[in-house]
Amino acid sequence: MQKIKLNYHDMMDIARGIIGREAEVINSNNRSLVGIKGRIIDETLKTIVILTKNGKKVIPKNGVVLKVNLPSGYVTVEGKMIMQRPEERIKKWWRKIRKVKRYANKNQRS
């Protein structure tokens, strides 16, 4: 799988939460998971639960690539990028974003 990079706005949308968003598994180490699509209804440290037409499917985050519908459009996300609890992801990404903003502001003043 190739490395996926997200821009600032997509990172913020994912940090706010993906529960309730439409998603589809587009790549996986387990081929039987590819093509599963529906609404994300729950998320844990290592799994995502997607509500499909055929019921709930538990998808491991490790080894999957998801296409998630965010307000900015569809975004491709590697499962390992979001391999933490939702509440921890918000804190971690917010710290990272604040560092980037401080660095950008510091360089603008120079």
State which residues form the domain around 45: 8-104
Residues 1-16 have pLDDT tens digits of 555 667 767 777 776 7
> What is the average per-residue pLDDT within 66-90?
84
Q: What is the pLDDT of residues 11-70, one digit of tens each?
A: 777 767 789 999 999 999 999 999 999 999 999 999 999 999 999 999 999 999 999 998
Residue 19 to residue 49: CA distance in whole angstroms: 9
Give the length of the chain: 110
| Residue 110 pLDDT level (bands cut at 50, 70, 90) | low
Q: Which residue has the tokens 């401080």?
A: 102
DSSP codes, 46-88? SEEEEEETTEEEEEESTTEEEEEEETTEEEEEEGGGG-S-HHH
Band the pLDDT of 86: cuts 50, 70, 90.
confident
**Structural domain includes residue 58:** yes
* Predicted local confidence at residue 53, as pLDDT: 96
The total domain count for the chain is: 1
Q: What is the pLDDT of residue 33?
A: 96
- 39: tokens are 């609404």
Q: Does residue 2 fall inside a structural domain?
A: no
Whichever domain contains 97, its CATH number is 2.30.30.210
Supply the pLDDT for residue 39: 97
The first and second tokens of residue 80, run together, are 């390992």
The one-letter code for the residue type at 89 is: R
Mean pLDDT over 84-91 rounds to 75
Is there a domain that residue 1 lies in? no
pLDDT at 62: 93
Q: What is the pTM of this model?
A: 0.75
